[in-house]
Amino acid sequence: MLALLQAMQQAGVSVDAFKCGPDFLDPLWHQAVTGKPSHNLDSFMMGAGLCIQQLQSTLNAGTYGLIEGMMGLFDGKAGVGETGSSLDLARVLGVPVLLVADVQGLSGSIVALVKGYCSCASDKGVSISGIIANRAGSAGHAALLAQLLKDHQLPPIVAWLENGAPTIKQRHLGLCRPHETTVPELTALLHADLAALLKTFGQLNPALPENHHGSPELAGKTIAIARDDACCFIYPANVEWLMTQGAKLTFFSPLNGEPLPEATDAVWLPGGYPELYAAQLASSATWASLRQFIERGGPVLAECGGMMLLGQLLIDNTQHAWPMAGILAFTTRMHSELVALGYRELAGGAKGHEFHYSTRHMQENVAPAFAIEHGDQGLRYKNLRASYNHWYFASAPAEVLRWFQA
């Protein structure tokens, strides 16, 4: 994905990047290359209408849209190519697929692999328009594969990437962020027929759904959003949605000990990496103003890492216990193994996902924040709602609005 974005940028092709699924980190890398925000497109969290709306509202005339898939083409919430999968997104958008195939050590098997993918995709009403051969051994190897596909009337190889291309460092929640390392230069290793590649792009056929915002429900309200290296899992679409509701947005940094901005009406504590910055957060001066706001009944939404900030202690992977805000009576413990992963949906319709390597241990009973059958019900204290869930706000506007209103 990054190699294609770099090649298109260097060739002067206007391109916007998108990410299939709920991932927060891959879009940061897209933005590091294009200089523009990368939006998520998720057929479960957003549905077809919001996906189409996001794509069409982002793309300008003459701009290409490149959507990075997630996992395998047919992997989603359940089944084969069903809701949440890259294939399902291609189907609801009516766009073709560029299939990235790991071709290391392959020759004739490329035909069986591509034919199988094309057949299964076609059964779901999706076309594969081209192949990107990843980890090709040489130009000769790539040419051999291209001829085999041509001989069997299969989609052409439009680009191939040399074996041994640099990789990006990872940690427990995914890729490291761009500012923590360097963006690898991949164009020298990518061999692309750009003209052929651009011909594989389709037109966005579905009409833009009517969008009835109604009156801005948050007009005159100031929402303070925690934003720094510890609180960095923020969908651009959620910020944009709050603005369409009329909210004035301000930002503060718990890492820097900043108090809540004056005249704050509601607070959003997004997820991120509190475990990486626990020493700084342990002495943050932010907690006093946050505690006062919560005790006064101010509405607060805390998601995953944002929830972890509110507990008594955060125990990291070295077993060091760091004091947190102490507003709620629980301890968070980090683990080396994945604890929870999956889509979540509330009875009221709000959709999101859960993905974490920690567990929450309560010292006293607290009322649940959400009515949810599978996943974390969270914690409700006055007008504070905290859980491990990351929400997509536009999935249920009426419900989400209540979270930001006293």
Residues belonging to the active site: 304
Q: Give the C-alpha separation, 379 to 307, whole Å.
A: 9
Q: Give the C-alpha separation, 19 to 26, whole Å.
A: 7
Q: Name which of 308, 304, 303, 262 is nearest 284 in CA terms.
A: 308
404 burial type by CB count under 10 A (0-12 exposed, 13-18 middle, 19+ buried)? buried
Helix (H, G, I), strand (E, B) or coil at 55: helix
CA angle 169, 175, 178 (to 5 degrees): 80
User: Do 52 and 92 touch, CB atoms closer than 8 A?
Assistant: yes
279 burial type by CB count under 10 A (0-12 exposed, 13-18 middle, 19+ buried)? exposed
User: Do 54 and 237 touch, CB atoms closer than 8 A?
Assistant: yes
Buried b (16+ CB within 10 A) or exposed e, 131-157: bbbbbbbeeebbebbbebbeeeebbeb
Beta bridge partners of 93: none
Q: Give the C-alpha separation, 104 to 134, whole Å.
A: 7
Q: Give the C-alpha separation, 128 to 131, whole Å.
A: 8
DSSP 177-198: PGGGS-----GGGEEE-HHHHH
Q: Which two tokens stand for residue 133?
A: 């051969």
Q: Give the C-alpha separation, 299 to 223, whole Å.
A: 10
Q: State phi, psi for 163 to the nearest 5 degrees.
A: -65, 145
Helices 86-93 & 47-58, crossing angle to 10 degrees? Answer: 70
Positive or negative: CA dihedral 69, 75, 78, 83: positive
Helix (H, G, I), strand (E, B) or coil at 236: helix
Q: Give the C-alpha separation, 11 to 194, whole Å.
A: 9
